[in-house]
Amino acid sequence: MNINKKKQLIKEAIKASENSYSPYSNFRVGAAILCADQKIFTGCNVENASYGATICAERAAAIKAVSEGAKRFIAIAVYGYPAGSKDNKNAKEDQEFNYAFPCGICRQVLNEFADPDMIVLIVRSENNYLERTLAELLPDSFGSANLE
């Protein structure tokens, strides 16, 4: 996966976070998934007054992709930050908040549609991100092969 594709995915994840509906946690998340056919699907977190009904950004993007027929994921970028942190003028932009790693449920959902070497970019800013594989984030995973 070349650097330009990574940058594009990161930009799309940051943009997707603008649609975050997160009045309860005030934690805004955007995600962008690159699929095998090179299409990109984005998502944001969508919260609910019944908190458990909340959907994470990664799963919003994943469900959009699969429901449009894109069932092989190559990479994902995830960008999450506490609302208001960007207003802190004393901090440098990329030092204001921690890396927002995908939660356990989202790792498992990604695993359904990806090989272990799927790239996961955990983004703090356009030029500040961590790179992991899905297998690093979800080792010894349970998958469809276990059911055979």
x/- map, 84-123, ligand THU, by CB under 6 A: ------------------xx--x-----------------
Does residue 74 touch ligand THU according to CB under 6 A? Answer: no
Q: How many CB atoms lie within 10 A of CB 6?
A: 18
Binding window for ligand THU (CB under 6 A); candidates: 54-62, 82-90, 113-121, 132-140: 54-62
Q: Dihedral sign, CA of 125, 131, 137, 142? A: positive
Catalytic residue status for 18: no
Question: CA of 71: how far to CAs of 51, 64, 66, in Å?
Answer: 28, 10, 5
To ligand THU, the closest distance from the beta carbon of 29 in angstroms equals 3
Q: Which residues contact 13 (CB under 8 A, 6 or more apart)?
A: 30, 31, 32, 42, 57, 77, 78, 79, 121, 123
Nearer to ligand THU, 13 or 40 (CB): 13
Please identify which residue in the block is written with the tokens 């908040």. Answer: 97
Tokens standing for 36? 């095998």
Residues 10-49 close enough to bind ligand THU by CB under 6 A: 22, 25, 27, 29, 45, 47
Residues that bind ligand THU (CB under 6 A): 22, 25, 27, 29, 45, 47, 54, 56-58, 102-103, 106
